Chain A
Amino acid sequence: MTRLFLLLAGFVVAFSAAAQTTMLNVSYDPTRELYQDFNAAFAKRYKEKTGVDLAVRQSHGGSGKQARSVIAGLEADVVTLALAYDIDAIAERGLIAPDWQKRLPHNASPYTSTIVFLVRKGNPKEIKDWLDLVRPGIGVITPNPKTSGAARWSHLAAWGYVLKQPGGNEAKAKEFVAKLYKNVLVMDSGARGSTTTFVERGVGDVLLAWENEAHLAVQELGPDKFEIVMPSWSILAEPPVAVVDKVVDKRGTRKVAQAYLEYLYSPEGQEIAAKHYYRPIRAESDAKLKAKISGRFSQIRLFTVDGLFGGWQKAQKAHFADGGVFDQIYQPGR
């Protein structure tokens, strides 16, 4: 019996060694194009080094929804989500070690992004900064912060802008954000949905968008239709990445998963990120990279979630949990 079992096990090992290695990267909505490029580059590099064929599959959707799928049993070797809170939610259920954010440089965020304004060509409503968004008659498009990572970053960016003004405080910020939501015309559940509403359906005057998503829209649909406006202040969005410990230990893919994430920090990985308008984290320390991407990103003053809101756990609880700021704005008197 044992011999039969050993024989069988031997077969299984031999079979899986001969077959190509596969891994799954579960990511959020706008990274589709970035990871298509990156996966091809990494697979090539992996083949050169180890001789093994690697197929990286990718899955995209709203960041919160993707985290929920992983918790429900989607076998992701790595997760690359929009905000740390969503990876924390997976870690809370024991699938990822609690110290995941310390395992890779820069809080496990290989690239950063920010929230910018996408407006129609010629900026007919003269939208230059956050204050213009609350003017009467301005139609704003942003997804629902309860379900979308981009919308949560946008909400906090608007809030932080007020705090950064002379005499800015929490009460003024809340008043401002409430006014801003009054101008929102359509609330989709994810970032891609909002982009479609603004770009294809022609609804609204300004879209609060991921920087890379805004560039993509301009690139795809032509600079004759849209332009990007940089507000005076925005938020430093740090989309983090992590190896899903429970899954890689079960599938025996820890090494390749780890190498995959580390490659994001390599010069090649950083360049691919920059190509897709994610701000590479090594841009400051790597002079060569800096020269290559100069002029690609506009200078903008950025504040962080940790600095202004005390981290994602706190921000989530105060703003987006049941009874938080977002609910208070829409349900006065509760």
Chain B
Amino acid sequence: MKPLGMILPEIGRAKRYSVLPGFGLTLGFTLLCSSLIVLIPLSAIFVMSSHLSWSAFWDAISAPRVLASYRLSFGASFLAAAINALLGFLVAWVLVRYRFPGKRLFDALVDLPFALPTAVAGIALSSIYAGNGWIGRHLEPLGLKVAFTPLGVLVALIFIGLPFVVRTVQPVLEDFEHELEEAAASLGAGRGQTFVRVILPAVLPALMTGFALAFARAVGEYGSVIFIAGNMPMVSEITPLLIVTKLEQFDYAGATAIAVVMLVSSFVLLLAINVLQAWSRSRRER
């Protein structure tokens, strides 16, 4: 413990540098809001699942059908987020670096998956990718079935996750100074070297944030996926669907047990990504 005399000046200094007045008030407000909107509803999930005995809880979350759904939900979400990181980076790059007719329109289109009701997206995707749809008709002869398979889940998750990556990477690319690239070139760096050692490190934190957001959204996505997934037990059932199914059978405790697993694992993954990001930032600054 530091003596009080040493702490007081520190607080005084913090006060002097703060832009918003009233640290106590703002912190209180922040805590109140986050408890009301986030913490209390989430803790209700834990309370409800605690009605189950430990072994019943374990049975509920480790049934083979549930395990298969974790594999699909987390696997497809991770893959979709990775593909989105790549595609989203490209889209952001094109939007920032080039000028072309209809650019503004294209820019606005990127946000569409944010605004569209997810069920509409699901119905549209499944009708396009079904065996008699515009795209599905041409893929089926190639032996590629998209709608009503796990591949369909991936397509839906890529669709809803894309804007997260674009919108986080775009501002960083816009702020990126051209001079840095020119300096790198004048110092003898090739194009590839400039990209890997100058541009990528600057964009990477934003890219990681976009990846994390897209991933988190994909794990929880329900509306668009159920229309295109096929929902076959052990094959194409996502975890949120199992939760809804359990609710419809009046099995509230079982549903919340699975919800707890999703919650904890999503939180751990997001935390890991944040830690990784902080670590990479501090390493670069050193």
Given contacts A201-B147, A331-B64, contact A68 B231 (CB under 8 A): no
Given contacts A184-B232, A186-B231, contact A203 B148 (CB under 8 A): yes
Which of A147, A188, A331 is in CB contact (< 8 Å) with B249?
A147
**Which applies to chain B's interface (DSSP): helix, strand, loop or mixed?**
loop
Which of A62, A188, A333, A334 is in CB contact (< 8 Å) with B231?
A188
B285 is an interface residue with CB less than 8 A from chain A: no
Give the distance to chain A from B12, nearest Cβ to Cβ, in Å: 55
Q: Is the CB of B131 within 8 A of A144?
A: no
Given contacts A186-B230, A203-B131, contact A144 B245 (CB under 8 A): yes
B82 is an interface residue with CB less than 8 A from chain A: no
Which of A146, A203, A331 is in CB contact (< 8 Å) with B63?
A331
Q: Is the CB of B231 within 8 A of A201?
A: no
For chain B, the bracket of interface size reads: 20 to 34
A327 is an interface residue with CB less than 8 A from chain B: yes
A89 is an interface residue with CB less than 8 A from chain B: yes
Q: Is the CB of B65 within 8 A of A330?
A: yes
Which of B64, B127, B234 is in CB contact (< 8 Å) with A200?
B127
A188 and B232 CA atoms in complex are apart in Å by 9
Q: Is the CB of A330 within 8 A of B233?
A: yes
Q: Is the CB of A334 within 8 A of B63?
A: yes
B132 is an interface residue with CB less than 8 A from chain A: yes
Specify which chain B residues have a CB less than 8 angstroms from the CB of A189 in the assembled complex. 226, 231, 241, 244-245, 248
A60 is an interface residue with CB less than 8 A from chain B: no
A285 and B245 CA atoms in complex are apart in Å by 41
A185 is an interface residue with CB less than 8 A from chain B: yes
Q: Is the CB of A201 within 8 A of B248?
A: no
Give the distance to chain A from B49, nearest Cβ to Cβ, in Å: 16
A184 and B131 CA atoms in complex are apart in Å by 16
Specify which chain A residues have a CB less than 8 angstroms from the CB of B248 in the assembled complex. 62, 64-65, 68, 146-147, 189
Q: Is the CB of A202 within 8 A of B131?
A: yes
Q: What are some 25 contacts across the A-B interface (CB < 8 A)? A: A62-B248, A64-B248, A68-B250, A71-B250, A185-B148, A186-B148, A186-B230, A186-B231, A186-B232, A187-B233, A189-B231, A189-B244, A189-B245, A197-B148, A201-B131, A201-B133, A201-B147, A330-B65, A330-B233, A330-B234, A331-B63, A331-B64, A331-B234, A333-B64, A334-B63
Interface residues of A (CB under 8 A from B): 62, 64-65, 68, 71, 89, 144, 146-147, 184-189, 197, 200-203, 322, 327, 330-331, 333-334
